[in-house]
Amino acid sequence: MMVGEEVKDARPEEPEPVTGTTQFVCATCGTLYPASEAPPRACPICQDVRQYVPDAGQRWTTTVELVSRHRNVVERLEPSLYAIRSEPRLGIGQRALLLQTPEGNVLWDCITLLDRPTVEAVRALGGVAAIAISHPHYYSAQRLWAEAFDAPVLLHGADRAWVVDAHPRVRAWEGEQQRLWEGVTLVRAGGHFPGGTVLHWEGGAGGAGVLLSGDILQVTPDRGVVGFMYSYPNYLPLPSWEVDAVADAVLPLAFDRIYGAFPGGLIAQGARDAVEQGRRRYRQALRGELPGLRPPP
Ligand SMILES: [Zn+2]
């Protein structure tokens, strides 16, 4: 399978990759940088208004350090769907999901840690035929995973400028939908990032349909609604038209369940209502119609 065109590195001023030397990882967001003798000058993903650089300044770790301090846990979520998360929590703390299909497995979203036991566990589940990622905060170590499983990485072209470790397996797709194969479609929803993507799995939830949403649609603690934000750590909302665009992109799809970005993030049923309800509540918030607010001046 070959979709889209090759993404070139967005940061040509960075040092050239040096084989066999350390690979630095941003400790805050978990993004892997090309191998280099010295740490990169900055992490553009954390410098962006949607993320943050810690008070004490940019922190770097390395792939070697991470392998010694963390391990991955693989757990089954439902038939043909597995979650892979790092313990202790690493970077932003998202999980990756491995979706098994007859045409091959999709790794949905990505995490930074890829150690030998994880490679073996994923191979035992059928390997990875394609990697698809919702938005730049989860690009993480996509290059390591792509190389380990010889799989293409499919990113929406609207976010291509955030790729800091480009390689020939990274492919940008354009437009509103990209069908990977029977029953699996990437849908561009936007919102949190212009290329914000969700994965629609037609056969999930016993055939009712599933969305893998990253945090393009955020599973909230009360489960009955989804949230939408421009920046989650910095509490920056989206304009109403972006929320409408996200909801309008997914509501035509058949689905009853949503798996979010973080461990435990699940709307087990009634997920379409949760999207409708999330949009309704968001509009109420913007109009000042939630309980306890002063009337407009
Ligand atoms: Zn970062």
- Residue-wise pLDDT for 52-75, tens only, equals 999 999 999 999 899 999 999 999
Is the per-residue pLDDT at 151 higher than 50?
yes
Q: Is the pLDDT of residue 96 over 50?
A: yes
pLDDT value of residue 222: 85
How do residues 234-246 score in pLDDT, each as one tens digit? 999 999 999 999 9
Does the pLDDT at position 4 exceed 90?
Answer: no
Mean local confidence (pLDDT), 183-206: 98
User: Mean pLDDT across the stretch 249-276?
Assistant: 97
* pLDDT of 21: 60
Share of the chain above pLDDT 90, in %: 89
* pLDDT band per the 50, 70, 90 thresholds, residue 98: very high
Average pLDDT over residues 200-212: 98
Residue 6 has pLDDT above 90, yes or no: no
Instruction: Compute, in angstroms, the gap from residue 14 CA to the centroid of ligand 1.
Output: 15
CA 117–ligand 1 middle distance (angstroms): 26
- Is a pLDDT exceeding 60 seen at residue 136? yes
Tell me how far the alpha carbon of residue 13 lies from the centroid of ligand 1, in angstroms.
17
Q: What per-residue confidence (pLDDT) applies to 13?
A: 44
What pLDDT is attached to residue 22? 75
pLDDT at 264: 94
Q: pLDDT at position 14, please?
A: 39
Average pLDDT, integer, range 183-211: 98
pTM beyond 0.85: the answer is yes
Check whether 263 has a pLDDT greater than 80. yes
pLDDT at 9: 56
Lowest mean pLDDT among 19-28, 120-129, 154-163: 19-28
CA of 33 to the centre of ligand 1 (A): 10
- CA–centroid distance, residue 39 to ligand 1 (Å): 12
Q: What is the pLDDT of residue 244?
A: 98
Tell how strand 210-214 and strand 184-188 pair up: unpaired
Gap from CA of 174 to ligand 1 centroid (Å): 25
Given a cut of 50, is residue 11 above it in pLDDT?
no
pLDDT at 269 over 80: yes
User: pLDDT at position 2, please?
Assistant: 56
pLDDT (0 to 100) of residue 18: 37
Report how far ligand 1's centroid is from the alpha carbon of 112 (Å). Answer: 12
Q: What is the mean pLDDT of residues 122-141?
A: 98
pLDDT at 46 over 80: yes
Rounded to the nearest angstrom, the distance between the alpha carbon of 90 and the centre of ligand 1 is: 12
pLDDT over threshold 70, residue 17: no
